[in-house]
A and B are shown apart, each in its own frame.
Chain A
Amino acid sequence: MKNNCRRVPAWTRRFIAYALLLLLAAAFLYPIPLDAVLHTLPKFQFGQLIAALISDGQGELIAILLIMALLTVIFGRYFCACLCPLGALMDLTSRIRAVFSKQAFAYKPDSRFRALVPILSLVLLWAGLNLPFGLLEPYSLFVAKSVFYSGPNLIIFLVIILAAVSGRAFCNCLCPTGFILKLLAKNSKFHLTFKDSCLKCGACSRICRASCLDGKNKNLDKGRCVLCLDCLAVCPRDSLAWGEAASAAQLPNRRPFLKQAALSLLAAGSYLTPEALRAKTLAQPPLAPILPPGALSLAHLNAHCSLCHSCVRVCPNEALVPSGAESPALWDRPVLDPYQGFCQYDCTLCTEICPTGALVALSKEEKHQARVGLVFFEREECVVVRNRTSCGACAELCPTGAVRMAQGLSGDEEPVISENYCIGCGACQQACPVRPTSAIRVNGIFIQQTAARPVIVETEDLTLTDDFPF
């Protein structure tokens, strides 16, 4: 009976982590019924919030970050234990591995080299190069590279191999989020403690995926502990507990306190971004890709986007895609490709779920006038003009009336453009039957604008003069 009791914390932790992992994965696969999940879970991704902080993001996100950081200082790395989707995936991998191999983990002392990669990625993020951060930050990595959506991806494959071989090594050696949480949790008020009954058997060290428990010496590296609580379940004498530090000796002393103060200053300093340095790295692309709605400008998107591709995954029309080689300055950030799909007039999903505020949430009314590009009509290529046949596919789809069929240069009906109303949704480009290049296309704009409000005229309905005109 007692045996089962001490499994409860580990089981609870695991249940929460797996449930959230499942919910998040399912929400990206079925965004319509699970939109509530998409609107909440990504907002509590610590790494995304760090990206928001570094890019001088919205105050609301920074407030969440500060609260989550404070909770880490008190309780340790609860984020890594329960909220991190990649962490849950790695735990799952470790458990599957345990079925095939009984090889144990072992305590390893901390090393300064472990800080190298995370610090580098954070410095580059600060300087405006988001790619390394995007490849290492667990939420970005999970959503953008996950096997669930985009087919097997080498990076996620490597992460899983790493998890199978050495547990949570990723979290303490490569993960930028893990690195910052490690600094915050180093002197957490609540943590694992050894009771006097401990016989130093080392069973806990053999199960510790973060290699942070030194059971032989009754020693714990609090910073690296990801709170999986599995050690509580394996201790044969029930000698481990999680709780408030008991003795005065374990209270933070001056040195770690100073370290934490320095870290806080560093975080605050990131608000003072060197604009000149960022301007260099956030260059304008040679072509004109269409940025997603709410991106505000190329500079805003480049600065805030963490490459997580959440917007790409949720776009119901599959219109958002990661930018490719044709716009290198965008570095894998989302762009609208009207040949894939058009931006649905009433849809604001991508702007709502963006976890870093790179896409600013738009109301339906704002979205109706949010211009992301401008229509360009290559009249000579239009089938109506060339063949004198009826088509009108572009005007049919245009939600704002920017493209209408009216008397044109030819004297006959042809697409006629009123640029004022164009929001650049790309519906016309998608509908146009001319291929490989549509006769009507959207050119992206680097600073997004507000289009003219579509004309609303309430007119009396006409009535029939004859009861039956036939």
Chain B
Amino acid sequence: MNRRTFIKTLAGGALALSLEAGLGSLPSSALRAQGFPDLVATRGTNLTAMFDKSLEALGGLGQFVKSGQTVLVKPNMGWAIDPAGGANTNPVLVSHIIKNVLNLGAKKVYVFDNTCDNWNDAYQVSGLEKAATEAGATVAPANSTGYFQKVDLPGETTLKSTQYHELYLEADVVINVPVLKHHGGARMTAALKNMMGAIYDRRPLHRNGLDETIPELMLYKKPNLNVVEAVRVMISGGPRGHGDSRYLSSQMMIVSPDPVAADMASAKLLEAAGIKIPEYIEQGAKIGLGVADLEKLNIQRLTAA
């Protein structure tokens, strides 16, 4: 190592550290300091029980949401496909999270997604609009540029800038609730990829390569908590799903404030079904969003009754 590379490495490390400190209200290191795990994986089939058990292990949802805060719950509801198809986050889970957030005294809970199918159809057919509204959240549209604001991304990025939904920018707390599934373009979609529904124009990401650009969407503002639903996971024909799509009954929920760790654990599930680990996870670790090496993390493995 010569002096130049040494200084570069040092500078890179300092940048990563400063980003880590600046992003998210409660980084996993803070949880660790309190003796809580960095990531909780809970097996089971009952989504509400799995969520409760996971959050109990992390010290409760109160670690992430305080009374009076505005909370965004960001599911994947991009498709006009009913819950059985596994293309969207399960409404039961989203509804349960919203109720818990409101019980903690949150001022307002928002739900939106910039859908792939026609937004009205997707909101309705996914069952999420109804479930979220009944649980007490405000379901907002995300189908026109008027709801989005252009933001310059910090540091050296490929994207340089993107347009975030105003509610994503406004929220004090963002709870990212993706469904894990195969993705024809990005190989897999979970926590990092779900941010593509929080921005308006996705074409620059596709144009410049998804592996490079997907993690950059979390550089400006990182979700405070990621809850990956992986009970019955679509392992072919994703993200939409086709009549011949196959599923993996993995019966899992992966919860972590670290989106990179959550995605890596999710990728290991898909790897068991023969899907290669997407490169964007390592890329996310490289730009300082979290830890991709699960060996280095304190993982708690649970089973919900």
Contact = CB atoms under 8 A, between A and B. Distances in A.
B118 A344 contact: yes
Contacts of A465: 272
Nearest to B265: A470
Contacts of B209: 383, 387, 389-391
A465 B239 CA distance: 24
Q: Identify whether the interface residues of B are mostly helix, strand, loop, or mixed.
A: mixed
Contacts, number: 132
A464 B184 contact: no
Given A397-B116, A433-B206, A461-B249, A392 B183 contact: yes
A326 interface: no
A393 B244 contact: no
A455 B244 contact: yes
A247 to B, nearest CB: 60
Given A345-B80, A464-B269, A467-B43, A393 B202 contact: yes
Interface stretch (A178-186, A202-210, A400-408): A400-408
Nearest to B189: A396
Contacts of A466: 272
Contact of B269 (A434, A435, A469): A469
B16 interface: no
A258 interface: no
Nearest to B243: A456
B121 interface: yes
Nearest to B242: A401
Contacts of B116: 396-397, 431
Interface in B175-220: 183-187, 202-212
Contact of B232 (A345, A392, A397, A461): A461
Q: Identify whether the interface residues of A are mostly helix, strand, loop, or mixed.
A: loop
A322 interface: no
Contacts of A467: 43, 301, 303
A454 B210 CA distance: 28
B118 A395 contact: no
Nearest to A461: B249
23 contacts: A316-B118, A316-B120, A317-B118, A344-B117, A390-B185, A390-B186, A391-B207, A391-B209, A391-B210, A392-B210, A393-B202, A397-B116, A397-B240, A399-B240, A401-B237, A401-B244, A431-B116, A433-B207, A457-B243, A459-B247, A462-B246, A463-B250, A469-B268
Interface of B: 41, 43, 80, 116-118, 120-121, 125, 183-187, 202-212, 232, 235, 237, 239-240, 242-244, 246-251, 264-265, 268-269, 271-273, 278-279, 294, 299, 301, 303
